[in-house]
Copies of this chain bind each other. A is one copy, B any other.
Amino acid sequence: MYDAMKRRAEKQGDAPGTARYIGPERDYAPEAVVFDYGPEVFTETAWQGQGPGDLAEGLNRWLKVSGIHDAGLVTRIGECFCIHPLFVEDILNTSQRPKLQENGETVLIVVKVPGYDQAAQRISEEQLSLVWHPRWLVSFQETPGGVWEAVAARLHKEKSRLRRSGVDYLVIGLLDAVADRYFQVLGELGEDVQELEARLLARPTEAILFNLYHLKREVLSMRNHLWPLQEILTLMAREDQGGEVAPASMGLLRDVEDHVRHAVDALKTLHDMLADMLDLHMSLTGMRLNAIMKVLTLIATIFIPLTFIAGIYGMNFEFMPELKWRLGYPLALGLMALVAVGMLVYFRRRKWLG
């Protein structure tokens, strides 16, 4: 996160609207595919510089761009579709906060989609941008494949509702796919947390402590991306703001909103669970310390006095009458046994042997 901030800060002297890619380096070629679709039509072609001008009546166009590390390509697309330079700048900057921004008829939506590497317990994030116009949509993603493949596949099917609806329905569908991915990641995270909990209840170790701390941080960073997504959907549902959402698509939008609200709840619960587990870890550590100290105290308080008695009769004074007694030795051993039993009785009374 902080690398991105510094990289971004390097832009400090640039005029607003300067197109510059800010993000990790990539080693594959970006890809841009155009889907033209309508109730009865569906074509898929590589993008060759066409803008929205040549679009047939009754059709919608979705330009799906995978890979934004080529600032030139994104700028060119921006020009062909008359996208505002500030929008292009935001699309290229992968350290963007999720947001919805309007400019005339076009709307920019930036969201983050999470990925979870269960082996490293690390959440990755990819920035997705949508430029949404009543007739067309341009989507940008950092890597090929990803959550929108399934939506594109559904577009192939003639009887799909996507084909019969406007661009707004497609936008909501894409956001729905993002919400589903959040659920998937939350589910995987939740499993890891539950497994960790089982291990913690068995025995608190330093490794578990680090693990808990690490997961809590991942949850914290995920929150930063999920909360703004909720705001975006709320903005879209408001009538006076966002792109026009047709009444027919409103049902799905509300549904996606509910999904995201559910995800936010789950994330909050996860966070609270991790915080509780960290507290539990601390309490358990304290209890184990108590248990250890009890043993030490028990052993020490029983044997130290005994050793002292042995020490007394180990002294070399010439005139120690007990040493000459026939029963001196057994009496000394008896005294020791007495002291030991007395101590044990005392401890049992104070309930320290349980």
Please list the residues of chain A having a beta carbon within 8 angstroms of any beta carbon in chain B: 1-3, 5-6, 8-9, 11-13, 15-17, 84, 86, 90, 96-97, 99, 101, 103, 147, 150, 153-154, 160-162, 173, 176-177, 180-181, 183-184, 186-191, 193-194, 201, 203, 206, 209-210, 213, 216-217, 220-221, 224, 251-252, 254-255, 258, 261-262, 265-266, 269, 272-273, 276, 278-290, 292-297, 299-301, 303-308, 310-320, 322-326, 328-329, 332-333, 351-352
Listed from nearest, the 6 A-B pairs whose CB atoms lie closest are A2-B190, A310-B311, A5-B187, A9-B184, A6-B187, A97-B262
Query: Which B residues are CB-close (under 8 A) to A8?
Result: 180, 183, 187
Residue in chain B with minimal CB distance to A260: B97
In the complex, 18 of the A-B residue pairs with CB atoms within 8 angstroms, ordered by the A residue number, are A2-B187, A6-B191, A9-B181, A15-B162, A86-B252, A97-B265, A101-B254, A216-B276, A282-B283, A289-B289, A299-B304, A299-B305, A304-B304, A310-B314, A312-B333, A313-B317, A316-B320, A318-B323
Q: Is the CB of A328 within 8 A of B319?
A: yes
Residues of B within 8 A of A284 (CB): 206, 209
Question: With A187-B9, A209-B283, A314-B314 known to touch, is A251 a contact of B84 (CB < 8 Å)?
Answer: yes
Which residues in B have their C-beta under 8 angstroms from that of A299? 300-301, 304-305
Taking CB atoms, residues of chain B closer than 8 Å to A323 are 316-318
- The prevalent SS among residues of A at the interface is helix
Copies of this chain, count: 5
- The contact of A307 among B181, B188, B193, B311, by CB within 8 Å, is B311
Instruction: Report if A287-B317 is in contact (Cβ < 8 Å); known contacts: A12-B177, A282-B282.
Output: no
Docked-complex contact A184 and B5, CB < 8 angstroms: yes
Complex Cα–Cα for A293 and B187 (A):
39
List of B residues within 8 angstroms of A188 by Cβ: 6
Q: In the assembled complex, which residues on chain B have CB atoms less than 8 Å from the CB atom of A294?
A: 292
Cα–Cα distance between A293 and B291 once the two chains are bound (Å): 11
Residue of A284, A307, A317 with most chain B CB atoms under a 10 A cut-off: A317
Residue of A3, A188, A269 with most partner-chain B CB within 10 A: A269
Known: A292-B297, A317-B323, A320-B316. A258 touches B99 (CB 8 A): yes
- Within 8 Å by CB of A300, from B252, B280, B300, lies B300
The smallest C-beta distance from A330 to any residue of chain B, in angstroms, reads 9
Bound-complex Cα distance A307 to B310 (A): 9
Taking a contact as CB atoms under 8 Å apart, the answer to whether B289 and A190 are in contact is: no
Q: Could you tell me if A269 and B224 are in contact, using CB atoms closer than 8 angstroms?
A: yes
Q: How far is the CB of A347 from the nearest CB of chain B, in Å?
A: 9
Q: When the two chains form their complex, are residues B183 and A5 in contact, meaning their CB atoms are under 8 A apart?
A: yes
User: Could you say which residues of chain B place their CB within 8 Å of the CB of A290?
Assistant: 285, 288-289, 292
Is A103 a contact of B251 with CB atoms below 8 Å? yes
**Which residues of B sit under 8 angstroms from A286, Cβ to Cβ?**
282, 285-286, 289
- B12, B180, B190, B282: the one contacting A1 at CB < 8 Å is B190
Given the complex of chains A and B, what is the CA–CA distance between A147 and B13 in angstroms? 9
Q: Measured between C-beta atoms, what is the minimum distance from A285 to chain B in Å?
A: 5
